[in-house]
Amino acid sequence: MRSWVFSQVSVKTVSILLLVMIFSSCTHLFYQPSHLLFLDPERLGLQEQDIDFKSQDGTSLHGWFFKAKGKVKGTVIQFHGNAQNITSHYVSLIWLIDHGYNLFTFDYRGYGLSKGSPDQEKIYQDALAALEVGDDLRIKHGGGRFIAYGQSLGGNILLRSLPDSSVKEKVGFVVQDSTFASYQDIAFDRVKSVWFLFPFSPLSYLLISDKMASEKVLNKIHWPTLVIVGQKDKVIPQKFGKEIFKKIPAENKWLWKIPEGGHIDVFHRGNGIYRKKFLDLVDQNYPES
């Protein structure tokens, strides 16, 4: 009997220690960077321009810029998700260059060729710097619209930084694709979904910070905003995107619920229907300058 009780206590103790280690390091829980080259643009017949710039604290960051084909309508800045780097994420939005939009995508610190190590407050500084660079590239390469597109973790990073950005008035359209507004809430949801970790899920609210969560600034989001949720998204359940849509006070906002949608795959579904729908939505609600 003593042995059995001791084993149970040991398992619980180890589990708690493991959770504390995980929760105490957002680097491991939320950031999964890679330095690998996943898909060289040359293989797709594309030519990227390397963009090297500095975060607000001086950390060296790296991005890619793809020029639009034909008449330029504007520039899209991509805030990508938590894993890999720009060499895998640019593919989801590269189709936009065929429709008049430049694409600027960048890596947060610790990802790809960007220096440093990621954490919430430092990546916030990266986001502020990237928005300025994105607007500079927009002006340099044809002007027009400035669209900020956040995917998964990138949606949170984008919304948290946008109200504080020096170029916030230049942004005319925002996208929140498969994302969430609270680090604590998504951690709680993910942990409780694992049956043997369920009892420890409340630790999410004790051991993870929401200081730099976009939830803190949702009441400041007045830009025309499109929220996209995949109804079969197993990474970020649709309820998180719906909550963002409900809370933002933007006068013009839209919620796309993709019936067969998974995680960040809207533009690969419907045989191009959603691509056309997106372009039409922007045209109708964001006049060209």
Backbone phi, psi, residue 226, to 5°: -105, 125
Residue 70 · residue 100 · CB < 8 Å: yes
- 50, β-bridge pairs: 64
Q: How far is CA 88 from CA 47, 111, 218, in A?
A: 15, 12, 29
pLDDT of res. 253:
98
- CA gap 124, 161 in Å, rounded: 6
Residue 220 · residue 192 · CB < 8 Å: no
Domain ranges of the chain: 34-182+212-285
Backbone dihedral region for residue 272 (phi beyond 0: left; psi -120 to 50: alpha; all else: beta): left
Alpha carbon 283 to its chain centroid, in Å, reads 23
Residue 254 · residue 281 · CB < 8 Å: yes
Per-residue pLDDT tens, the chain, 289 aa: give them: 333 343 444 445 445 545 554 444 444 579 999 999 999 999 999 999 999 999 999 999 999 999 999 999 999 999 999 999 999 999 999 999 999 999 999 999 999 999 999 999 999 999 999 999 999 999 999 999 999 999 999 999 999 999 999 999 999 999 999 999 999 999 888 776 665 665 665 676 778 889 999 999 999 999 999 999 999 999 999 999 999 999 999 999 999 999 999 999 999 998 899 999 999 999 999 988 6
Write out pLDDT tens, residues 166-176.
999 999 999 99
Q: Count CB-CB contacts under 10 A for residue 259.
A: 9
Q: Is the dihedral of CA 136, 174, 205, 265 positive or negative?
A: negative
* Domain 34-182+212-285, CATH number (from 3.20.20.70, 3.50.50.60, 3.40.50.1820, 3.40.50.10320): 3.40.50.1820
Supply the DSSP symbol for 46: -
